[in-house]
A and B are shown apart, each in its own frame.
Chain A
Amino acid sequence: MSLIEIENVSKEYKSGTEIVTAVNNISLEIDRGQFITIMGESGSGKSTLLTMLGGLSVPSKGKVLIDDLNIYALPQNNLSDFRREYLGFVFQTFHLIPYLTVEENVMVPLAVGDLTRIQKKEIVHATLDKVHLKEKSKRLINELSGGEQQRVAIARALINDPLIILADEPTGNLDSKTSEDIMDIFGFLVEESKTILLVTHNKVYQSYADKKIFLKDGKIYGGD
């Protein structure tokens, strides 16, 4: 059984008086531990597809099943809990909380859990170690470089040990050397059986992928 099943999913929204179809009747199956790249031009529906997979945007039609759960049939609070347990998000512009330190930013998803302070600290330090940022744990976000900030965002995405990492152009704001470092981290995560969905413009990263999806006008038009 696939970890992610998307069945005839469409997403329409209103733009003025027009109805725009961002994602048009997509069906897809993704297995546990796969590295998927989603490519396409701007406006092709990549990010919309990702937010629907992340339980953040209700599809106009179709179903999104993750671990056999129809996520949009869940009540609001359960859907939030699902996101916390199953998903980790990484964004192009990092989206860290500027008034929190590195350690605190990574700990944000754990603040609503039941772990003790010591348990939380241990997990955070272990996760920061994975992204080679343990020594900068007390720094504020604006004291870090772009690559370091993205590594903090990855650490935050990993902190709850999610099954799925959803990354929307995570290297879009980074130089090529730093981008490679970030992609190496993703490669390492796949080895840990994480399922990664990476939205990217960069064709170079196709080499990391087990499965490539190309989108055009909200439809899958190629890939394997």
Chain B
Amino acid sequence: MKIYSIAFQSLRRRKTKTIFLIIGLFLSVTSVVTLITVSENINRSVAINLDEFGANIIITPKSDQLMINYGGLSLGEVSFNNSQLSDNDLQKINTIKNRKNLSIIAPKLFETVNLKGKNVLIAGVRFSDELKLKKWWVIKGKSPLPPNNILVGSNTAEALRIKLNDTVSINEQRLVVSGILSNTGSQDDGLIFMDIFTAQTLFRKLSKLSLIEIAALCYDCPIEDIVSQTSSVLPTANVTPIKQNIESKMMAVHSFERFSLGISLVMLVTSFLIVFANVNSSITERTKEIGIFKSVGYRNSHILQIILTEVIAASLTAGLLGFFAGISASKLVLPFLSMHGLSSFTYNFTTLPIAVLLSLFVGITACIYPAIKASRLDPTVAFRFI
């Protein structure tokens, strides 16, 4: 028999006390693991949803000319007259290392035309991508599907008195207004959108592009990496992250993380107090036992070893059980918190050492003071209990 055997026998045969000690730590570890796992899954889901909500990277041709703005973003002046981007660039973008993070790639070709005596900016887009990128669009009529259909911004429709199903002639091509965009408060209100291939054909700019917008999923990869990889495959283009979008997305994600962290801290403090109260009362009850150990010649360090071994063993058990219970609880809870984009449940095995270390930290810090107090107990005081 060694010192640790006494500790293990104490844990084994004083079942109620042991169970209370483990439960205190177990509840805390389970709650923290559940919060971490749930928050990771929800953060990922929120991040994916936010990433798809508008572009966060914009690619424009490099230019030393004066800039023309599109929604506050500068477009090379040459882009109207001499597009330097092309359809080939879309293929190059799809070769970057983090291509899996590219959720939406939305190319655009801009051209000005004169309609009913007024200059109007035409945007050739891939409607399938554009509609995914601009989930806030509300279209009166239908989303334009056939190549000769167009979508007119609300301000343009009002200024040119264009109505749904009207026919508009651009460069002698008759185009049907299949939809009118409700007011968005953005540059889109002053545009006319048409299929990009139709625009390239109509303006004799086959394969040419004015800019490319990208919605990148950047929850688990830094946006700077994607920007740098894209820049390296498109050396003649400006690849710019839209800081405002990224920052607001990260702020939303981090707000939830901070909330989870706050709840976890509350759980930890509660658990610490439970374990502290448990160990403290247990040591008071064991004063007589400490007196016996002292009478048979145990040093203070031997008594400290017994108490610490018990708490460490209980903490390790609580940490392991708490991890698995936390993962199971997350699996049960997440469907109730389910949101669009939360397609699969994931958990991280690195949470296991975190759970065990957390349990050990709470267990040891909560017991260290009562344990030292017990080990230094004056034998005469201990003997009053004998």
Contact = CB atoms under 8 A, between A and B. Distances in A.
A111 B297 contact: no
Given A51-B380, A91-B386, A109 B300 contact: no
Interface string A52-92: 00101100000000000000000011001111110101010
Contacts of B295: 54, 56, 83, 89, 95
A100 B9 contact: yes
B292 A111 contact: no
A83 B299 CA distance: 10
Interface residues of B, number: 28
A224 B9 CA distance: 47
B386 A108 contact: no
A110 interface: yes
Nearest to A83: B297
Given A99-B14, A107-B1, A111-B6, A51 B297 contact: no
A213 to B, nearest CB: 21
Given A56-B380, A83-B297, A97-B292, A111 B1 contact: yes
Nearest to A77: B299
Contact of A84 (B10, B291, B296): B296
Q: Which of B6, B12, B380, B383 has the most CB of A within 10 A?
A: B383
Interface residues on A, range: 20 to 34
A107 B9 CA distance: 13
Given A56-B380, A57-B379, A108 B6 contact: yes
A93 interface: yes
B350 to A, nearest CB: 37
Contact of B298 (A56, A80, A95, A99): A80
A112 interface: yes
B309 to A, nearest CB: 12
Main secondary structure of the interface of B (DSSP, over half): helix
Contacts, number: 84
Nearest to A99: B13
A27 to B, nearest CB: 22
Interface string A154-179: 00100010000000000000000000
Contacts of B383: 51, 56-57
B127 interface: no
Interface in A77-136: 77, 80-85, 87, 89, 91, 93, 95-100, 104, 107-112, 117, 120
Contacts of B331: none
Nearest to A91: B386
Contacts of A77: 299-301
Q: Which of B3, B10, B296, B301 has the most CB of A within 10 A?
A: B296
Contacts of B3: 111-112
11 contacts: A51-B379, A54-B295, A76-B300, A81-B299, A82-B297, A89-B296, A97-B289, A108-B296, A109-B297, A120-B1, A160-B297
Interface of A: 51, 54, 56-57, 76-77, 80-85, 87, 89, 91, 93, 95-100, 104, 107-112, 117, 120, 140, 156, 160
